[in-house]
Each structure stands twice: as structure tokens, then as C-alpha cells.
Amino acid sequence: MMFFPCGHLTAQGIDRLPEALLSGHERYEADWNQILEDRIKAGEPMPGWSDPGLDRPGVPADRAEPLEHLAFWLRYGGGSMPTAEARRRILEAIRMDVAATPQVLRFLPQDKPSARIVAELLPKLPAYLDEDGEKARETRAWVYQYSGLLRDEVLADCQKARWRLYQDRNGSDPSLNALMAREPAEANRLFKTLMEGSDQGLAVVAARLLLEMAPGEESFRRKLIEAASSPVSPDEVKEIAVETLVSQKWEGRESWILDSLGQEGVLEAIWFWNGIRNEPDRWIPLLAGKLEKPGMARNRAVELLVWFDRPDSIRPLLPWLKDRDWSFASEDGLKSMIGSLAKLDIQECADGLVQWVTEDNPAETKTWAADALVRYKRADAVPVLKRLLLEFGNTDRYHRGVVFQSIQKLGGFEPEETVAALEAYFNAFPETPHELGTVEGAMRSDNPLIHDGAGFANALLQTSPELLSAIERRADVVEKDNPVLAKHLRQLAVRYFAAGAGRILAKELEEGRLDEPGLVLGLTYRREKNPLWNGGDFREPAGKPGTVGGLASVLSGDGGLMHAALARDDGGSRLAVLAAATFTGDLLDLGQVRKLLDEENEELADAAWSYLLNRADLAALAVVDEVKTAKEPDISMAYKLMNTSRADQDLVRSISGISVPPGEVMSLFHMSGGQGERSVLFYPERAFAIQDFGEGRRGICELNDAQIARLKDYSIRYRIDDLPSMRMPVSDGVRLGYAHVTSTRRRFFVMGSPAGSLEELRMYDDRKYSEGSVVYAGLIGLFEKLFNELDLKIHRGDGVEVLTPRERGHVGTVWKKGGDLRVFVNSVVKGAPGFWQRVDEKTGAFLGAADEPPEVPRLETWQVLFPGSGKEDDPEIHPWQVRSGDAFVHSGRFKDADGLWLCRAGKDPELLLEGFFHGERVSSDGKWCVVVKRSGSAMTEAQKVVRINLETKETFPLDLEEAGSFSPIAFINGSGKFLIRRARQILPLSGGERIGPEAAEYHLLNPADGSSQLVKGDFIPLKRKLSRPLQAGANPLAGWATKAEKLMEGAVTRVGLYDSGDFKFKTAREVKGIAFESTDMWVDEEKRVIHAVADGDLVKIPLDGK
């Protein structure tokens, strides 16, 4: 716990407190963990961890699109399985997106027809995504297991099975598994052969599998025993053998395990653990029997007993506390044992813990022992622990801090000691005792009083009425001579003693000493309904005029006193009430607040406005709507989220005709931005769910009665509106906000990654978290499940029809000719090639695979063309721009040589020119290449342009002066020339100079004779990263292009014809709300329709319109 900044304020300072509150303040939230624990103790209902929406958040409904199912199950890491219908749809999806096949095999229908389909897809798997061939092996095994196809290939795979996979308890080789499942007799024959082979790893795995098939066959078990005990067996082989032997029941198993514990050499205790962990009652006594004599057996038995973490397993290890040489098991085992003593109830360990702390042992274990002593309430250990504090000094701050807290928990500091240490600390750091850097600095102090004072200020664990009295007495004594110290002491008392906070703050308020931190803390106690807070302490000062009376009325929590203070013709009192009520969320009379909006006192009117925006229930927001056109405020995030946007209400109106505002709103959203916001708008007898995907994309669906009831029942049953914000110690930073707004109340809180399962919750070791946190996880799951089952209709704005939503398949580009409409769909597998599909022009449904149109060479990527070459896709240069017949021109490094290369699939590149090049472009007939040549490897070296005849390999310099930056932009088909940009570089050359024109120049180059001409115009459409050539228009020099911008008020795309003869762009249509590039659309001039791709959606837009 940290301090707030503070200072000694005068009455004039008191009057500034409302302004400080209104200027924004980090607000305190109640302890969500404690609130939920209290609810559980009170017998309140809690949702179950296995409730739908928690076990599989985000799972698509059966009716979802095949590629939507594929995308989800591809990334799904849980243990649940898809429904039969979902399996069928996943199979349908991989017939389109072949690259995903190996990763979803376990989710496919397990029958012969499905296996035949997968067998047909196997040759189509991208080789560059499976360099070691493992994906193909897994797929072959699956096909064979469910159909018998590819038998010879699988048998060959079995001969070189990956035996190391069996080191993982749940690991296995898919080829061996498939053979065992389909042909047990053949598996038996093959495994016997492998067991007698020379490969020790395959031999031990074969013996393991044979033993699983015939558990009573001793010859197989003997093979494993030999491998486990052989001094020449590799450690991996021993591990597999031991884990197999201990996992099965057989005569002599216990004796073998106990004897093996004493075996010399490498034999890890953990290898035995999984086989015995589920039989604690049997194994704890047996292992305890191995502790009688020192040696290897004792050491390994100690390790295993520690892991059982039970009183009867830890108690036999207590001699280790008094004699560290009693066992030479790992130090981690020792730490775990002491850690267990802090959790278990083993009273006889306390003397050993005290002895451990006093002797020369590792600091970390002494710290754990000190923590354990708290459990056994060994107050007599306090002197020993205080000596340990001195031993750690000021260098080992972490361990000293743990011991310091242990002493506090044992009540080891007298009130006078605590006050003296706090006084020393506050006097040493009077200005900034609240800052983390100050506390850390004090922890390094040579003065133990200052050091301990910082510890108390940071976390006061030892609280008592006697300590509170001692702090208050000392504050009264030093008030006259050292008011700053008195302020710090009282502030600490307020922070840690809620029962006395009201009394202290009321006195400070009346005497003009109250500062902002104290006020904030008092209002926080009040807002969060702390049961120890006594609002009655403020009834008397609430009747006073000015700021004192206004603040006191809110601190009292009495609505009548707040109403009276707001009704007084007293600007100071009114301002204080508004500011404090804004912080606490108290429901003031809206009629009174509305009148204050018209006050000539601007500060008071602004405070009323701030109150309404922060209160943000529908009643308050109705007042905001009434007057906002006049004030046009900087609308707060709360207003935006909780009033729902005008776009949401307009969307409801467009599909339902409802024009009135909603009466209730529930929203779940990412705090990092609006993307993914999910809201439910409630109207009389109807409700609509809206998901905001960002970038103007929204989905809407009307809810049925059961869905409405599910939402409202959860909110009421689990008292969601009474929950504070919660945070879990996770690193992903995912923070979700929840808002519930009605006509009379607004509730908002933040959830920081609540655990999604009981197992996940128990993983946290920084503190014990309440199982009641399932309420937060369930709320998220409730929204997840609801929105996944809805058939959301996607909208992109007026005049834009979403033909194929991206849930059906993430579209990359589009092509159309007559009635033939095709889209290129991106693979759900990162780095995999996409695929073309025909599309129904009316419904947007996929009609089946299609060939790649010659005008859209989209499938060509460097990885597809040259798998295994190491050549990564270049976003600046696409293969179609550098094609020469069956070859491609590529600048870069190959086999330790920099140069310009002619590359053909399946062959080593051919060196055209040695040196440093970039920005290559090739003419459409494949004859000419222009490229930038640098004098050195760095991009800051001087540059010039050369042209190359790719038929003769001749090179010609270009008659253009050197410049700091050259960029071949494009080859212009209509003119047969290259467009080249010449400019002064941004960074100086290696010599420090800048060369080239100040304003960029553009030149048209005739590759045949090297002549060039300076041209001017609009070159933006050609400078875009074009994944294909521009769609040709009626004019051979004109092509359809776009100019897209993302402005503050939204995206705007201008569609038009770009003339590469005069480099002019003529707008044909302006589309608001979405952005797309030239190569993301296809224009049907005959039907006057634009088909475009916007963030994966295929949309349809009239070419003629506004």
C-alpha cells in the first residue's frame, strides 16, 4: 500500500479540493477478492466453472461458416471436441484451405470417406510449411488409421518412428499409434523386430508398446528393466523405461521401485513420480521406510515425499531441518519442504524452523522458515527473527522484507516501536514518502529505524486499537512544531484504520487541514460501503456553509444532507457536493443538477456537466442529450460507451423502425479501444445485440425471449452491478470493461483477465484468489456464448452491401468478368497460400474452387515459387512485377554473394550482375529490367539506375545524374516505359552530403534506347503496394484505382480512373466509412457496380452514387 501526495493545506486549500476532484483522479476500488469470499461464506449462489461459455469461449455455433469453424479449432488449445456438424464443416473447409489439414486432424470425422478426402489433399500440402516432413507423416498416419490407405508409406514411417516423443507422458508417434489401432497383429510383429534391433530408443519404445498390448508378458518387461538399469543406456531411454514400468501394475513392481531408488548413476526421482502420485496412502509409508539409512535411496525418497505435500509425507523429513547433511536431495526439495510447513499443520516442526533460522543456511530458505513460523504463531521466535533482520542488513532487501512482514504478523513490534520508526522515516523523507522510489531508497538506509519505517508505511500488517491511539497521540503532540509529520501520521492512520478514519477526517475538515489524498480516501470508504466507515462523524460539519458543508454532506452518505447542501444558495457548497458525488456516484436530484447547467458561474455549470457525464445512467444522459448541442463538450469515454453511439441506435432503427432511445444497455468491450465492443440495447419487449468490430463494421441481431432472460437473470442472480473492478496478475494486459446502464443507475467496472478455469485460478502463487472470480469469467463467457450463437447481419454503412462477410472466409482480393465473380481467400494458416473461390453474385455464397484469373496473379509468392530458398515475401515487390518468362529477377544475397539474380523454380539462381541492388522492376514482355545500383551495402550509399536486357544480359547505364534516392515505381503497359522516382535521400550519405533534387522528380524511361523525360502529375495510385496490375479501363492507358484515407472522422475511399498517359486521377465515386486499395476491388462498368474488399469482407457498392 502506498501513500498519496500530501501537504499542509489552509482553508483556502480546502476550497480547492472540489476542483482537484473534478480534474480527474485515480479512483480506489474495493477488494473484489474479499467481496466474493464474503458472498461465498454467506451462501450466495455462484456460477459453475463448467458452465457453457467458460470451457470453450468463442466456439462457433454449428451453423457458422466452414472457414469460421476451421479458424477457431485451428487455434483452440482446450480439451473439448467439436460437434458432429462442426466436424463436417471443418472437413468442408480444408477442401478449400488445404494447408490447415495436419493441424485439425483430431477434429475431423473419423471415417473412411473423410480419410479418402484427406488422402486426396495430402499431395497438395505446401512443402515449404513442412520442411521436416512431420506434418505429412501425421497426415499419412491418420489417413491409414481410418481407411487403410497409404499402408506401405506408414509402415516405412514406423521403421523410423520418433521415439523421443515418448519422454512426454502423453507423447506418442502417430505412425505407431495408427498401426496399433488398425492392425494389432502387424504392430505386434513389427514391434518385436524393433525391440531386438540396435536402436536403443526404438527398442525401448517397442517394448513399452508391446507391454501395453500384452501387460502380462514378462519378456517385454525384462527388456524395460534392463534398459532402466543398464549403465550404457542413454538418459532418455532410461526415462521412458522407468516411467513405463512404474505406470503399470505387476508383481514385484513395488520391490523394483524401492530397489531402484538406491541404484547408482543417473536415475531421476521425477521419473517415478507419475506412477506413484495417485497412491499416496500406499507409497508414503514405503518411501518413509527408505529414510532410515543415508544414501541414494534416502535422497530420492526425500524428493518424492516432498512432492506429496501432505503432513504424513513431510513429517518424516523434519530431521533435515536440524541437520542439513541428513539428506543430499536437491535444494529445491528443501525449499519445497519448508514451503509446505508454511501451509500444513505440523506443530512439532516449529522448533526445527527456529533452529534453521538461527544457523548458517541459505537466505531464501531462512526467509521461507520465517514465513512458516507465522503459521505456528511462534511469538517467542520474534527475537530470533529480529536478529535475522540485522543479519540481512540493507543489502538483501527482498528477504529482509519477508522477515519484517513475518515479525509484524506475529505482533512482534510494540506500538511505540512502530510509531518511532514511522516518525524517523517521515522526518527523513518529508516531501515524498508516498513515492515508490522514496520507499526503495529508505530500504537501503543504514538507519534501521528509517528502514523499518518505510516498511510500515508500505504495508502496515500489525494493526490494533492501541497502535491507532499511539499514532493519534503522537500526531497531536507534534502538530505545533512539525505539522507535516502530524499530517503523514494521521494520513497513515486513515489509510489503515477505517474505523477511526471518519473521526480523523471530520476533525481535519472542520479545522481546515484536510487535503486531497485524505478526502479521496474518505470518499472511497464511503463509495465502497466500508462497514467500518462512520458517516455520522460528518453530520455536524454537513450543516456548515461553503466547501466544508458540501464535502461533509457527501462523506456522511446521507441523501437528505446532500439535497440540502445542493439546495443552498451557496456556490461553494454546491460545487463541493457535485465534485464529491461525481467521485462516489451518488444519485443527486437531476432537477437540481439541470438548473445548475444554466448558472452564470461557469465553474459550477461545468461541475454539473461533469457530474452528468460521469453518472451516465440513461436519465442523466437524457439531460446531456437535451443540452449537449449548445455546449458540445468533450464527451467522455463513459458517455460514448454507456449512451451507446448514435450509429448503434441508427442501426436498430434501420432494421426495426424503433426511433426512441433504449431503456437499458449492457456492454462488454476492450479497454484498449472500441474494437470488439458488444452491446445489448433493451427496448420495451424487444432487445438487439450489436457487435462493433471497429473501422465502421457492425453486426446486429434481435434477441429472443430466452436470450434476454439469460442476460438479465445472470445480472440479478450474481449481483453483477455491485461488483468492483478486478485484476489478475497476468502479463497479456487484456482488460475488458463492463457497463450496465438503466434509467436510474450506471455501473461500470474493469476486468483484468479473470481466470477461465479453476485450474488456471490455482496457478497463481502470489496470493489466494477467490473461486468466486468465476462470476467475472462467467460474465465474459455469457457474452461470448450469446454473440457466438447469434446470426449477426453485418453492416458497413449507407450504400455498402456486405456480400460475403469475412466470417465466411477472409477475402484478399476480387475479380469479375460478366457473371463470373471470383475472390481470393486468405489461408487461416499463417504463411500458407490462399485459394480462389467462385461467388454467387446475389447471396455471396462460395460456389466452389476457381482458377486464378490471368489479370490477378495473386497466388504467386516467393515461398510458393522457391520453397526452402530462404527468400521471404517482400511487401514492396511482388513476383508479377519482376517476371521474365519462367524466371524472376531478384536482388539480394545468395551463397555469400550480393548481386542481381535470375531465379527459376527448382534451380540455383543465375547471377546477372554482382554488387548491391534494390527496387528491381521488369517490363511486361519480360525483356527489360531496371534496378537501382548502390556503391555500397548501406542504403545511404550513392545510387544510380541501370537497365538490363534480360535476353542478352547486356547492361546499360541510365543517363540520369546520381541521387541519394532512386525508386523504380512501375512499368507502364500502355506506353511501354518505366516510371522512376529521383529524390534527395532522407538520411545523409555515408560521406555526410545529401545529393539529388530537393523536390522529388519523376522520369519516364524508354528501356529500348535509354531516353527519359521528366513528367509531372499524380503518382499516388502507382506508388501503392500493388499485389497485381491495375484493372484496365476502356482507355488502354487508364486503369481503375483508388485513393483511400483514414481520417479522424472516418475512412474515405475515392474510386476512379487513373490515366497513366497524363498521370491524372478522375474520381467516379466517393465511398465513406471504409478504406480499400486499388488492387482490392474490381469495377463492373457495364452493371455500374464496384466489388471491393474491406478488412476481409467482400462488399458491393454502386458505382454511381454519393
- Tens of pLDDT, residues 175-224: 999 999 999 999 999 999 999 999 999 999 999 999 999 988 999 999 99
| Residue 435 φ/ψ, nearest 5 degrees | -80, 140
Reading the block at residue 867, the C-alpha cell is 520453397
Q: Answer yes or no: is pLDDT of 257 > 90.
A: yes
pLDDT tens figures, 548-586: 999 999 999 999 999 999 999 999 999 999 999 999 989
Question: Which domains does the chain possess?
Answer: 1-38+497-587 (no CATH), 638-795 (3.30.1560), 801-847+1027-1102 (no CATH), 862-1013 (no CATH)
Give the Cα separation of 1054 and 1042 in Å (integer).
5
Tell me the three cell numbers of residue 132: 521436416
pLDDT digits (tens, 9 = 90+) for 422-456: 999 999 998 878 776 777 777 777 788 888 888 89
- How do residues 958-985 score in pLDDT, each as one tens digit? 888 888 888 899 999 888 999 999 988 7
Q: What is the pLDDT of residues 90-102, one digit of tens each?
A: 999 999 999 999 9
At 640 the pLDDT is 44
List, for residues 1044-1059, the tens digit of each pLDDT value: 887 766 789 999 999 9
Nearest to 245 by CA among 265, 233, 262, 229: 229
Chain position carrying cell 473534478:
22
pLDDT tens digits for range 1019-1043? 999 887 777 889 998 888 899 999 9
Q: What DSSP string runs through 325-390?
A: GG----HHHHHHHHHHHTTS--GGGHHHHHHHHHSS--HHHHHHHHHHHHHTT-GGGHHHHHHHHH
Q: How far is CA 512 from CA 15, 58, 555, 623, in A?
A: 9, 55, 16, 35
Of residues 917, 922, 969, the one with CA closest to residue 943: 917
| Per-residue pLDDT at 847 exceeds 70 | yes
Average pLDDT, the chain: 88
pLDDT at residue 12 tops 90: no
Q: What is the pLDDT of residues 27-58, one digit of tens each?
A: 445 688 889 999 999 999 999 887 644 555 57
Predicted confidence band of residue 638 (pLDDT cuts 50, 70, 90): very low
pLDDT digits (tens, 9 = 90+) for 764-823: 765 678 999 999 999 999 998 899 889 999 999 888 999 999 999 999 999 999 999 999
- What is the separation of C-alpha 20 from the centre of its chain, rounded to a whole number of angstroms? 35
**Please, which residues bridge with residue 443 across strands?**
none
Look at residue 891 in the predicted model and tell me its pLDDT. 87
Q: Which long-range contacts (CB under 8 A, 24 or more apart) does 180-189 make?
A: 180/209, 180/213, 181/145, 182/144, 182/145, 182/148, 184/213, 186/155, 187/213, 188/213
814 secondary structure, DSSP code: E
Whether residue 506 contacts residue 542, with contact meaning beta carbons closer than 8 Å, is answered with: no
**746-752/726-727 β-pairing:** parallel
Numbers of helices and strands, H then E, in the chain = 44, 32
pLDDT tier at 237, thresholds 50, 70, 90: very high
Grid-cell match 497383429, residue found = 185
Distance CA 307, CA 336 (A): 8
What share of the chain has pLDDT > 70, as a percent?
91
What pLDDT is stored for residue 1076 in this prediction?
94
- Closest residue by Cα to residue 956 from 978, 973, 936, 938: 978
How far from 83 is each of 74, 89, 107, 484, CA to CA, in Å? 15, 10, 9, 68
Residue range 871-889: mean pLDDT, rounded: 75
First to last CA, the chain: 59
Bridge partners, residue 979, by sequence: 970, 1004
Note the residue count of the chain: 1106
Predicted TM-score (pTM) of this structure: 0.75
Tell me if 703 sits within 8 A of 656, measured CB to CB.
no
Give the CA count within 13 Å in the CB-facing half-sphere of 1059.
10
According to DSSP, residue 989 is labeled: P
In order, the DSSP letters of 194-228 are: HHTSS-HHHHHHHHHHHHHH-TT-HHHHHHHHHHH
Q: Across-strand partners of 1005?
A: 978, 1012
The answer for 651, left when phi > 0, alpha when psi is -120 to 50, beta otherwise, is alpha
707 three-state secondary structure: helix
Write the DSSP assignment of 52-105 as a string of letters: TTTSSTTPPPTTS-HHHHHHHHHH--SS----HHHHHHHHHHHTT-GGGGGGGG
Q: What pLDDT, on a 0 to 100 scale, did the predictor assign at position 940?
A: 66
User: Binning pLDDT at 50, 70 and 90, where does residue 869 land?
Assistant: low
Predicted pLDDT of residue 1056: 96
- pLDDT tens readout for residues 318-333: 999 999 899 998 888 8
Set of cell numbers at residue 489: 501520521
Cell 478514519 belongs to 501
pLDDT in tens, 664-684: 999 998 887 655 789 999 999
- Grid look-up 475538515 returns 509
Residue partners of 412: CB distance under 8 A and separation at least 6: 379, 382, 385, 386, 462
Is residue 6 a contact partner of residue 522, using CB atoms and an 8 Å limit? no
Answer for the pair 335, 361: CB distance below 8 angstroms, yes or no. Answer: no
DSSP label at residue 772: G
**Of 170-184, 576-590, 869-883, 929-943, which gets the smallest average pLDDT?**
869-883
Name the burial class of residue 839, with classes exposed (0-12), middle (13-18) and buried (19+) by CB atoms within 10 angstroms of its CB: buried
Question: Is 488's pLDDT higher than 80?
Answer: yes
Give the model's pLDDT for residue 647.
78
Phi, psi at 890, each rounded to 5° = -145, 125
Three-state secondary structure call for residue 294: coil
Q: What is the C-alpha radius of gyration for the chain, rounded to an integer number of angstroms?
A: 37
DSSP 1010-1045: --EEEE-S--HHHHS--SSPPEE-SSTTEEEEEEEE
Q: Kindly tell me if the per-residue pLDDT of 284 is higher than 90.
A: yes
* pLDDT given for residue 848 in this prediction: 94
Angle separating helix axes 174-182 and 134-147, nearest 10 degrees: 10
Cα(618)–Cα(627) distance, integer angstroms: 14
pLDDT in tens, 734-748: 788 898 988 777 788
Q: How confident is the model at residue 376 (pLDDT cuts 50, 70, 90)?
A: very high
Q: With 0-12 CB in 10 A as exposed, 13-18 as middle and 19+ as buried, what is 1017?
A: middle
Write out the three cell numbers for 641. Answer: 460507451
Identify the pLDDT of residue 1106.
Answer: 64
Residue 51 in contact with residue 580, Cβ under 8 Å? no
Please give the average per-residue pLDDT across 344-352, as a whole number: 93
Residue 874 pLDDT exceeds 80: no
* pLDDT, greater one: 965 or 733: 965
Q: Which residues contact 4 (CB under 8 A, 6 or more apart)?
A: 434, 491, 516, 517, 518, 520, 521
Q: Would you place residue 868 in the very low, low, confident or very high pLDDT band (cuts 50, 70, 90)?
A: low
* 889 φ, ψ (degrees, to nearest 5): -90, 135
- The cell numbers describing 164, all together, are 523421443
Which of 130-139, 262-271, 750-759 shows the lowest mean pLDDT across its residues? 750-759
Sheet holding 746-752, edge to edge: 726-727, 746-752, 735-741, 664-670, 677-683, 686-694, 697-702, 793-795
Nearest Cα to Cα of residue 719 among 690, 749, 689:
749
Phi, psi dihedral angles at 238 (to 5 degrees): -60, -45
Mean pLDDT of 3-16: 50
Taking residues 694-716, what's their average pLDDT? 94
Interval 353-368 mean pLDDT = 90
The predicted-structure confidence for 330-344, as pLDDT tens digits, reads as follows: 888 888 999 999 889
What residue type is assigned to position 987 of the chain?
Answer: L
Predicted pLDDT of residue 289: 95
Q: Which amino acid is at 781?
A: G
- 666 closest CA partner among 728, 583, 585, 749: 749
176 vs 163: CA distance, rounded Å: 10
